[in-house]
Amino acid sequence: MTQPPEILRAAQIERWNDEADVIVVGMGIAGACAALEAQRAGADVLVIERASAGGGASALSSGIFYLGGGTAVQQAAGYEDTPQAMYDFLMANGVSPDAEIIRAFCDGCVEHFDWLEAEGVPFERSYFPGKAVFLTTTTCLMSTGNEKVWPYREIAKPAPRGHKVAREGENAGSLAMEALLARCAEAKLRTHFDSQVTALVIDDDGRVVGVRYRKTGEDRFARAARGVILSTGGYNMNKELLAAHMPHMLGNSEPLGVPYNDGAGILLGQSAGAATQSMSGVIATASFYPPSQLIKGILVNTRGERFVAEDSYHGRTAAFITEQPGRKAYLILDSEIFAYPELTDFSHHTLVDGWETIEEMEAGLALPPGSLQRTLGDYNRHAENGEDPLLHKHPEWIKPLTAAPYAAFDVSFNKSVYLFITLGGLKTNARTEVVGVDGAVVPGLYAAGACASSVSRDGKDYASGLSLGPGSFFGRVAGRLAASAG
């Protein structure tokens, strides 16, 4: 499914089965936040969800929210973050950043953190100082992006901004969704479950005024007096859309999400004239750390050259690996730091071999003669002084690689299991209004969460938490705005 569904005209609808001020399509984190805020702003809200309950990918997630600007957890951990520092970082690190979207998110983050806590999403006042991909403890705060990576660490004062919900295990997002869905139940939000939205309805002026949904084998129609909010998640379960926008992800990669993350919201929006953006944006990760000592190794491509600072966020490293010739790369280690990568779910586990000399390793990896010897020679010469003038890896992760024997892991794209989520989607402005291909707002239509292209649009600028953080934040924005429309 790559083509937008038909668009329906209000005049064609003979009978509306239901009506509300605001209709929210999809009840993951963006939809739940949108619905709560719209109802509190005085709107009569109807949520239409394809599954038998709310939750979506959000309920499967690790529960890391990227938030900053001076949250209570950051303050408790002794970090002085500001909205401006967060903005400067996200703008500098962004591949195609939208200044207004990022400004709105950064300025609203502290209030949003307080709101999440007030809704019953618990965050411990605790901090993990190390470098990890995710935590299985209840520890909250961790650096989850490229804040300490050059040049960003010189542009904006680094601060940890990954806030993990206080539940043990890999699935802390379930606790966030339990809390938000409990609030939705308390608020007696009207919901239709097992109901798939299959088309939007517009009036003669092109304003979105309702939806068609399929429930128990029957087509039904619901009218929206003020607006429709799309919050159906990403599109990584739609093989045809993947083939069109990121065909390389169809091989050995694993999409992260629920089966209904099939891009429906994106296609529904397009049927009403919406533009899409960053559709090839993907966060695909196969982390070679932990253990963090592996960051002291170097990554080289088939030319024997380094291409990314090894202390980058794993998603940024993965994005650079996929750009190398043949999508191939090796992690080079000496015996002082050798260890097997620990993560088994998304991993680079192919140990190529061990060698007594760099020359033998170069031949064993079939790298151009002299290339690895030159690369390591340069690296080691500067590493003696704790420096990396080529890629500016942080001194914390620099040591000369001189302790034979040497080893290499094959971290090539086809030798790793990449878990991924899509980052592209409907073009929206900072108010979550959907923007049309003609540049004008599509009246009556809003989008939030992974069906919209939002703060992060590329693996190089992703940080863990940049889905749940902006998804929940802009879900609320959409709910308030739609409630006030009309």
The one among 20, 23, 24, 26 contacting ligand FAD by CB under 6 A? 26
Run of H or E including 94: none
With binding defined as CB under 6 A, does residue 35 bind ligand FAD?
A: no
With binding defined as CB under 6 A, does residue 108 bind ligand FAD?
A: no
Least spacing, CB of residue 202 vs ligand FAD, in Å: 17
With binding defined as CB under 6 A, does residue 261 bind ligand FAD?
A: yes
The one among 58, 143, 236, 375 contacting ligand FAD by CB under 6 A? 58
With binding defined as CB under 6 A, does residue 222 bind ligand FAD?
A: no
Least spacing, CB of residue 352 vs ligand FAD, in Å: 29
CA nearest neighbour of 446 among 471, 478, 477: 478
- Tracing tokens 């909205």 back to the chain, one arrives at 83
Cβ proximity of 28 and 54 under 8 Å: yes
Query: Which residue, 50 or 167, has its beta carbon nearer to ligand FAD?
Result: 50
With binding defined as CB under 6 A, does residue 232 bind ligand FAD?
A: yes
Cβ proximity of 1 and 240 under 8 Å: yes
Least spacing, CB of residue 198 vs ligand FAD, in Å: 7
Query: Which residue, 55 or 444, has its beta carbon nearer to ligand FAD?
Result: 55
Buried-exposed string 377-394: b where 16+ CB fall within 10 A, e elsewhere: eebbeebeeeebeebbbb
Least spacing, CB of residue 464 vs ligand FAD, in Å: 5
With binding defined as CB under 6 A, does residue 412 bind ligand FAD?
A: no
Query: Which residue, 379 or 420, has its beta carbon nearer to ligand FAD?
Result: 420
Q: Cα angle vertex 57, ends 220, 285, to 5°?
A: 140
DSSP three-state, residue 334: strand
With binding defined as CB under 6 A, does residue 133 bind ligand FAD?
A: no
With binding defined as CB under 6 A, does residue 269 bind ligand FAD?
A: no
What's the one-letter identity of residue 75?
Q
With binding defined as CB under 6 A, does residue 233 bind ligand FAD?
A: yes
Q: Interacting stretch for ligand FAD, rule CB under 6 A, among 98-106, 225-233, 337-345, 404-412?
A: 225-233
Least spacing, CB of residue 322 vs ligand FAD, in Å: 19
Binding residues among 188-207 for ligand FAD as defined by CB under 6 A: 196-197
Query: Which residue, 28 or 97, has its beta carbon nearer to ligand FAD?
Result: 28
Query: Across the strands, what pairs with 141?
Result: 127, 163
95: left (phi over 0), alpha (psi -120 to 50) or beta: alpha
Beta-strand pair 425-427/418-422 = unpaired
With binding defined as CB under 6 A, does residue 471 bind ligand FAD?
A: yes
The one among 71, 236, 285, 464 contacting ligand FAD by CB under 6 A? 464
What mask of x and - would describe binding to ligand FAD in positions 153 to 182, judged by CB under 6 A? --------------------x---------
CA nearest neighbour of 397 among 62, 130, 167: 130
What residues contact 12, with CB distance under 8 A and at least 6 apart? none
With binding defined as CB under 6 A, does residue 253 bind ligand FAD?
A: no
Least spacing, CB of residue 169 vs ligand FAD, in Å: 11
What mask of x and - would describe binding to ligand FAD in positions 436 to 455, judged by CB under 6 A? -------------xx-----
What residues contact 76, with CB distance under 8 A and at least 6 apart? 125, 127
Least spacing, CB of residue 300 vs ligand FAD, in Å: 30
Most distant CA pair in the chain, distance: 79
Q: Interacting stretch for ligand FAD, rule CB under 6 A, among 54-62, 81-89, 390-398, 435-443?
A: 54-62
With binding defined as CB under 6 A, does residue 428 bind ligand FAD?
A: no
CA nearest neighbour of 291 among 354, 355, 336: 336
Least spacing, CB of residue 475 vs ligand FAD, in Å: 7
Distance CA 365, CA 360 (A): 9
With binding defined as CB under 6 A, does residue 465 bind ligand FAD?
A: yes
Cβ proximity of 282 and 444 under 8 Å: no
What residues contact 242, with CB distance under 8 A and at least 6 apart? 235, 236, 249, 250, 422
What mask of x and - would describe binding to ligand FAD in positions 289 to 328, judged by CB under 6 A? ----------------------------------------
For 33-66, the DSSP string reads: HHHHHHHHTT--EEEE-SSSSS-TGGGGS--EEE
Please report, in angstroms and rounded to a whole number, the separation of the first and last CA atoms in the chain.
33
Which residues lie near ligand FAD (CB under 6 A)?
25-31, 48-51, 55-58, 60-64, 173, 196-197, 231-234, 256-258, 260-261, 264, 421, 449-450, 464-468, 471
